Amino acid sequence: MCGIFACHCHPDIQKFKPTALRLAKAVRHRGPDWSGNFVDNNTILAHERLSIVGVDSGAQPLVNDDGTLALAVNGEIYNHRILRKGLKTEYNFKTHSDCEVIIPLYMEHGLDAPKFLDGMFSFVLYDKKEDRVIAARDPIGVISFYLGRSSQTPGTVYFASELKCLHPVCDNIIAFPPGHVYDSKTDTMKRYFEPKWWDPTNVPSTPVDYKLIRETLERAVRKRLMAEVPYGVLLSGGLDSSLVASIAQRETLRQRAAQNGAANGHADGSGLVGIDDANELSTVTALPELHSFSIGLPGAPDTQAAIEVAEFLGTKHHAFTFTIEDGLNALSDVIYHLETYDVTTIRASTPMYLLSRKIKGMGVKMVLSGEGSDEIFGGYLYFHAAPDREAFHAETVRRVKNLHLADCLRANKSTSAWGVEARVPFLDKQFLEVSMGVDPKEKMITKDRIEKYILRKAFDTSDEPDVKPYLPEKILWRQKEQFSDGVGYSWIDALKDNAELHVTDEMMKNPKPEWGDDIPDTKEAYWYRMMFDEHFPSYCAGTVQRWTPTWSKQTDPSGRAISTHIAKYDHVE
């Protein structure tokens, strides 16, 4: 993970430079390894680096030979080696960075360059010859990114990885839309990511192919092991993180065998092993063993499940605990880093934020995480109430489109707050194309089918005697627990109780006028909004969306509040 701040068309860029560097410093937590900047004409690009790939040579901003193109990137480009090989014109690469390929791609394809990228990213590229800036964000918005403007400098456009860089100088800020590219020449946004499933009215009818789902997810995990630093997996004990951990462990063991016997892959003397180059994958560092991480209150449902999975897989597991006081003490910091007041996101992000600090303290810089699966497969318990396949599909599309405001935001900012990078295999472009293209009737929850049935079935090897099981059966078929519930039910109860202490009935009746129509409907929501306002001006609220379930009258977004969960779990509460 890295941090970007950039601005274009500033009336006095030299005078503004010290301010720009100070604003970039506000995201140094995202990139604690190095700082760099590029200034030319009326444009500045500032970059705070977290080194994962091209550790020895990937300092940014990246600049071409004649200094006419400069690039600041946050993210990872998984197919960078394939892209390098496919360039029509020879380009002199200065680094081993996976991101540098964006420059020659722009030289060949212009605004279409982001279409070729397979990865998670936000970038700002300055073209000196045309005095032009283009900026883009990955298809789903895994990487956070914002665009701002100021009434004090009309005509200037600002970009940053986080709100906290922009609000001191901007009075109009939007979340940069995922899957779009901005062109300063026309001052417009254009959607470059247009998959078949994007239109919710185009309901797919393709039968489920369990083998294809399995193979595509395995491939998505493998390509995300591209790293030259210690990595691990977040393992909550739920289905999604457990599958990611299982695939990553299989790949880790395969690499170890390949390295030992040099039977698969090729040693290059650097401790790296090339994996599946023909399949558009890249290099990874082979570690002695895969580390997995979980967190919860003492006795949390997820912790025990995570330990069981880790023992089954053979990962080196670290089960951390936190206290309710730890969580409550961190809330204001969590909201500052997350830049949201959404109840669901804050509940789930606080344990993840605390866990990320522990992970960073162990020297791990990159982790795999399981976000996206529930949106793709309709895994949230409220999907039980979907009336038909058309409505089910429309809701999955809506959820995937809004991930950048919810779970992607949580995964990206909870981890980057401590200089850790989270990668999310379920949001791989190819996996999305396969899984969102399945007839939604196959995904619907029935008396005979638990939520995410087709994903579970894809990794069920009970009728494949020659294939080692991916997970214990009780984990593979375990019912959904939302992360904020799974870390321990008393966590949410404590949040509600403390909100009662901070927000009175009178305050609920008299919300702040500047909140407009966005009125908190619970004391917990009101409390979070007050903390948000302590950090950010009211106009930043336009970048926030509150998570609410469909087909449900519940006011609490917790999965535990859904009747399906109560029927299943009331004996343990």
The amino acid at residue 399 is R
Contact 128, 67 (CB under 8 A): yes
End-to-end, the C-alpha distance of the chain in Å comes to 38
Q: Which of 2, 9, 165, 408 is catalytic?
A: 2
Q: Which of 372, 381, 557 is nearest to 455 (CA)?
A: 372
Alpha carbon separation from 290 to 165, 217, 226, 267, 423 (Å, rounded): 35, 18, 14, 20, 15
Q: Are strands 291-296 and 231-234 parallel, antiparallel or unpaired?
A: parallel
What does residue 148 show for φ and ψ, rounded to 5 degrees?
Answer: -135, 160
DSSP code at position 194: -
d(CA 413, CA 406): 11
**Rounded alpha-carbon distances, angstroms, from residue 229 to 168, 252, 571:** 35, 14, 44
Contact 420, 366 (CB under 8 A): yes
Structure tokens at 429: 């472009």
Long-range pairs for 20-26: beta carbons < 8 A, 24 or more residues apart: 20/44, 20/46, 21/46, 23/160, 23/165, 23/166, 23/168, 23/169, 24/48, 24/165, 26/162, 26/164, 26/165
Integer angstrom CA distances of residue 404 from 138, 140, 143, 555: 10, 7, 8, 23
- Nearest-angstrom CA–CA distance, 280 and 219: 9
Nearest to 384 by CA among 241, 550, 237: 550
Residue 7 is a catalytic residue: no
| Residue 504 burial (CB count, 10 A) | 12
Q: Which residues are catalytic?
A: 2
